[in-house]
Structures are given as C-alpha cells and as structure tokens.
C-alpha cells in the first residue's frame, strides 16, 4: 500500500486529474487497475461550491484581497475523497499571487495532496485560468462530509487597472461516490464572485474555451455545429453583436442581450449567452479551420483585449470521398465503398451510410465518381 501511495505522489507534477485518478486506484489493495468512469451521479440540489465573497468592490490598483471557495451540504453517503475546481478571471485587471488549502479534506489530521495547475503564478496569470484540486493520500482515512472551506486564493489589482470581472468557478467536481470500487466524480452547481472598482462599467469578454465545436470534423457540404459563448463582465446590461469566423470567413452572426449588474446577476450562467453556429461547409476548401469570434466594443468599454478570441481546437473539413474520415482519400476508402457497392438504405446487408457519399440512399457509380475525383486528396 505504501508503494502505491508513493506512486500516486509521483504524478503530482501532472495535471490535477492525473493525481486524482492515480489516487483513486488505492481504494483497496485489490483495485489497482485503471477504471473507466462514464456514469455521472446526479447531484443533490443542496450541494453547492461557492465563493464566500460574492461581491468584491472598492479595491484600488495595487491592493489585494482574498476569495474563499467553500462547499456546503457535501454528500454524506460516502463523503468526499477528492475535489477539483477551475477558476477564471480577467488577467488584465487581476493577478493571482497566493493560494492555501482549506480544511475540508485535511480536518487538521489527515494527509492530503493540494495541487495547482499551472503551478506558477506567471503562467496562470497569462490567461487568468487556474485549476485547483486536492485529494486524500490514504484511502483508509474517512471521507469528508462537513461544510468547510476548500481553498483560498489571493488576488492583487494590477497597476492602474480599473474595471470589472467575474471570478468564475466551473467544472466543480467532488469525488463522492463509488464505481467499480473506486472513487468517482460528480459535478455540482457553483456560485461565483464579481469584482469591480469602477461603476458603471462596460466589459464584454470571451475566452478560447468558450468556443466548442460539436463536430470536430465534417465532409465538404455537411453542416458543422459550433457553440460560442460570450460573457458580460460589466455592471451594465448590454446588447451585443457576436460574429463567428472560420479562418477569415464569416460563418455566423447574431444579436444577443447580456445581463450585467451586481449581486442579482453575479453568476456566469446569468451573465453569459451561447450561440450555436450551423456552418454549411458547401463551397469551402478541404482543410483545417480556426474558429474565432469577435464582439464589437460596446459604448464606454475600455478593456477590449478579450472581445476577440480563438477556439482551442480546429474544425477539419474533409474531402467527400474520405469515407473513413482519416484525412486522406486512398485505397482504404475505395475498399469501404466496394464492400457496400450496390446496396441501398432499404435493402442489402452491406449497406454503409457513410459510403453513400452523395446521400441518395444508394451506393452506386455516382459515389464511385466522387471518390475517384477526390482520390489522393488530404488535409
């Protein structure tokens, strides 16, 4: 058992979830194989992960303040073995400079591993994003159930910085139940903090992770669905225009109302709106596309650096003849088409809807013609 615990500690330099999943394997000496966890247990509505300081104001440039992230009504069936919380803020306004583990798991007695990613202030402050996590080191220690603080972060208002920002919690997870004998996660609701040191303020924000392609790859002529979220970090309600691009080509535009305000609209969920772009790729060249979004500055907005943002992942537009979607039209695709040749959607055991390139419910010479035209193409 000691060797297994030490093995878990070696993973500390990896992302927080790597630490968690290695530790999860220690629940018993007989459960040392990696368990794939796919089922999520519904969260009881009373459980909440929240920032105690829901509203922070009056802090001038150069001053500092803490936020405490707590859990209330943690489940008691098994208790909690580990937790993870993601935090974001506006790096043009605030910088993170301090962190401290709370007493929720440790309880003044038990050994824990407190993890931060990125591990350095400088790296985290580039994007204004931080992942914080903690796990019990000994699987035999009793799991935590009390309402308590998870962690504290210290922030400094940057020099000459005035404005507002949501200190947003997301993907707030407790490992609080068992699957196949190992701890498994539940995602719980959360409540954020809102900072401002000028009023009224106008500030529209976007981040790379706010662009989420639903289809990572499509064939030419198919529709790619992309969710784009925009956030109001100001104190005023706004009406904005959101434009979405594939490389430099406009693929979607919409007008959206965005709630602002202070305590009433303090959460990300109330301040943000998501727009689903249905991008018809007909007429677009085969290739990889960066998805970007932009919002023209609203009246009175000063911080416009985050009004334009690029997604973390590209969308691939594949040749029509790329039946197996591996990025190249070759003999493998020809073999797939040959196996299904002559079949229809209503008859034929060899029917393969992917090989029906022109989507006419039959696999025939027209599909072979398209594949032949695309043969050798790649992205």
Q: Which domains does the chain have, with CATH numbers?
A: 2-196 (2.60.40.680), 204-318 (2.60.40.10), 331-374 (no CATH)
Q: How far apart are CA 39 and CA 135, in angstroms?
A: 21
User: Which DSSP helix (H) or strand (E) runs through 330?
Assistant: none
Q: Residues 160, 83: contact at Cβ < 8 Å?
A: no
- Where is average pLDDT lowest: 153-157, 206-210, 274-278? 206-210
Closest CA to 93 of 247, 178, 196: 196
Give 10's pLDDT tier (boundaries 50, 70, 90).
very low
Computed over every residue of the chain, the mean pLDDT equals 87
Q: Residues 66, 140: contact at Cβ < 8 Å?
A: no
What integer pLDDT is reported at residue 303 of this predicted model?
A: 87
Burial of 3 (0-12, 13-18, 19+ CB in 10 A): exposed
Does residue 28 have a pLDDT over 60? no
Does residue 44 have a pLDDT over 60? no
Closest CA to 131 of 109, 153, 146: 153
Q: Residues 150, 85: contact at Cβ < 8 Å?
A: yes
**What integer is the mean pLDDT of 294-322?**
95
158 Cβ neighbours under 8 A, 6+ residues apart? 61, 92, 93, 94, 95
**DSSP code, position 298:** P
What integer pLDDT is reported at residue 3 of this predicted model?
A: 40
Q: How far apart are CA 363 and CA 348, in angstroms?
A: 10
What integer pLDDT is reported at residue 27 of this predicted model?
A: 32
- Where is average pLDDT lowest: 4-18, 162-176, 191-205? 4-18
Does residue 355 have a pLDDT over 90? yes
Does residue 30 have a pLDDT over 70? no
Give 264's pLDDT tier (boundaries 50, 70, 90).
low
**What integer is the mean pLDDT of 337-365?**
91
* Residues listed for the chain: 379
User: Which DSSP helix (H) or strand (E) runs through 29?
Assistant: none
Does residue 37 have a pLDDT over 70? no
Does residue 13 have a pLDDT over 60? no
More confident residue, 32 or 341: 341
pLDDT tens per residue, range 93-143: 999 999 999 999 999 999 999 999 999 999 999 999 999 999 999 989 999
Q: How far apart are CA 318 and CA 378, in angstroms?
A: 8
Residue 333's SS3 state is helix
- Tokens standing for residue 95: 């910088």
Chain-centroid distance of CA 173 in Å reads: 13
Does residue 11 have a pLDDT over 60? no
What integer pLDDT is reported at residue 199 of this predicted model?
A: 77
What integer pLDDT is reported at residue 349 of this predicted model?
A: 80
Radius of gyration of the chain (CA): 25
What integer pLDDT is reported at residue 265 of this predicted model?
A: 57
In this structure, what are the phi and psi dihedrals at residue 126, rounded to the nearest 5 degrees? Answer: -65, -50
Q: How many helices (H) and strands (E) does the chain have?
A: 6, 23
**Please, what's the b/e burial string for 132-161 (b: 16 or more CB within 10 A of its CB; e: otherwise)?**
bbbbbbebebebbbeebebbbbebbbbeeb
**What integer is the mean pLDDT of 26-49?**
45
* Percent of the chain residues past pLDDT 90, beyond the cut: 80
Q: Residues 190, 50: contact at Cβ < 8 Å?
A: yes
């Amino acid at each position: 058992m000691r060797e297994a615990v030490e093995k878990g500690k070696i993973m500390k330099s990896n992302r927080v979830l790597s630490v968690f999943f290695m530790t999860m394997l220690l629940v018993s000496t007989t459960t040392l194989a990696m368990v794939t966890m796919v089922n999520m247990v519904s969260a009881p509505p009373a459980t909440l992960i929240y920032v105690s300081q829901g509203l922070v104001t009056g802090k001038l440039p150069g001053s500092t303040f803490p936020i405490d992230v707590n859990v209330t009504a943690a489940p008691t069936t098994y208790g909690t073995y580990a937790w993870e919380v993601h935090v974001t803020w506006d790096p043009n306004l605030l910088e993170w400079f301090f962190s401290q583990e709370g007493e929720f798991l440790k309880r003044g007695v038990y050994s824990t591993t407190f993890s931060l990613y990125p591990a350095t202030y400088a790296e985290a402050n580039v994007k204004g994003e931080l992942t914080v996590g903690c796990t019990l080191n000994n699987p035999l220690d009793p799991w935590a159930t009390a309402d308590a603080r998870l962690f504290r972060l210290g922030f400094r208002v940057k020099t000459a910085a005035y404005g507002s920002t949501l200190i947003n919690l997301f993907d707030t997870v407790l490992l609080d139940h068992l699957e196949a004998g190992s701890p498994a996660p539940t995602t719980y609701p959360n409540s954020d903090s809102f900072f401002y040191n000028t009023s009224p303020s106008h500030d529209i924000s976007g981040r790379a992770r706010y662009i989420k392609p639903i289809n990572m790859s499509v064939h030419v002529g198919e529709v790619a669905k992309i969710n784009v979220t925009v956030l109001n970090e100001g104190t005023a309600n706004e009406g904005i225009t959101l434009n979405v691009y594939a490389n430099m080509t406009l693929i979607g535009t919409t007008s959206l109302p965005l709630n602002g305000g202070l305590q009433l609209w303090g959460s990300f969920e109330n301040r943000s709106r998501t727009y689903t772009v249905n991008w018809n790729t007909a007429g677009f060249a085969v290739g990889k596309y960066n998805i970007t979004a932009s919002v023209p500055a609203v009246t009175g907005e000063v911080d416009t650096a985050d009004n334009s943002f690029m997604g973390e992942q590209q969308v691939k537009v594949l040749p029509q003849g790329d039946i197996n979607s591996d990025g190249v039209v070759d003999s493998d695709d020809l073999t797939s088409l040959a196996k299904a040749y002559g079949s229809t959607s209503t008859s034929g055991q060899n029917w393969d809807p992917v090989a029906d390139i022109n989507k006419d419910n039959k696999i025939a010479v027209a599909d072979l013609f398209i594949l032949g035209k695309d043969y050798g193409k790649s992205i």
